[in-house]
């Protein structure tokens, strides 16, 4: 009766072979090193999705053309610089960017021709060492009353803060598209 419960020699040999086969594969897999993989053996289709993280990518190796459309936001166009005004004489200072022309629109007013149509901007009075009371600058993104073509992209007006009267002041401007 006991003889029916014992495995046959063939079953014992098969079980031992199975244990060695499973253990040997696990042992071999744990010993694979980087140098064991042939160059170019691992290609893009063989890499799992999201397997490569940003920290594993060499700096400067990915270019905007390598990315899908819309991944890199577009940089807004900008125009900026200092513009000097003394009566009817108006001129952007060397180094101004995107300001293609300026003209006087009257007392305290500078009219701008820009390389693009702006959607917003800012203006700040550039203080002169004249001892005058403070001035304010107002920027308008549209044609102003005293501005004539092609100087109709924007206008700045400077006024004395004490009286509100127009005053010719130099300004720092920045425009964004």
- Please tell me the predicted confidence (pLDDT) of residue 103: 95
pLDDT band at 29 (very low <50, low <70, confident <90, very high): low
pLDDT above 90 as % of the chain: 36
Mean pLDDT, to the nearest integer, of 64-87? 83
Q: Of 158, 153, 151, 152, which Cα lies nearest the Cα of 172?
A: 158
Q: How does the average pLDDT of the chain come out, rounded? A: 83
Mean pLDDT, to the nearest integer, of 151-156? 94
C-alpha distances in Å from residue 16, one per residue of 3, 4, 7, 12, 89: 21, 20, 12, 6, 100
| DSSP string covering 139-164 | EESS--TT--TTS-SEEEEEEETTT-
Four-CA torsion 124, 126, 132, 136, nearest 10 degrees = -10
pLDDT above 70 as % of the chain: 87
**pTM of this prediction exceeds 0.75:** no
- Please write the tens of the pLDDT for every residue from 56-69: 888 888 887 777 87
Residues 17 and 33: their CA atoms lie apart, in Å, by: 26
Q: Where do the domains of the chain lie?
A: 78-176
Mean pLDDT, to the nearest integer, of 123-136? 75
Contacts (Cβ under 8 Å, ≥6 apart) of 146: 104, 105, 106, 109, 111, 155
Residues 170 and 90: their CA atoms lie apart, in Å, by: 9
């Amino acid at each position: 009766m006991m003889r029916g419960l014992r495995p046959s020699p063939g079953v014992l040999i098969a079980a031992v072979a199975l244990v060695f086969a499973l253990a040997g594969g696990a042992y071999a897999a744990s010993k694979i090193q980087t140098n064991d993989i042939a160059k170019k053996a691992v290609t893009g289709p063989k890499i799992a999705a999201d397997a490569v993280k940003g920290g594993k990518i060499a700096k400067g190796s990915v270019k905007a053309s390598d990315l899908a459309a819309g991944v890199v936001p577009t940089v807004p166009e900008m125009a900026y610089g200092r513009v000097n005004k003394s009566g009817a004489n108006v001129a952007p200072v060397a180094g101004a960017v995107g300001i293609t022309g300026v003209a006087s629109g009257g007392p305290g007013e500078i009219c701008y021709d820009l390389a693009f149509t702006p959607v917003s901007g800012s203006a700040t009075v550039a203080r002169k060492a004249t001892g005058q009371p403070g001035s304010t600058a107002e920027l308008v993104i549209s044609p102003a009353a005293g501005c004539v073509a092609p100087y109709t992209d924007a206008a700045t007006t400077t006024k004395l803060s004490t009286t509100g009267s127009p005053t010719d002041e130099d300004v720092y401007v920045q425009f964004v598209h």
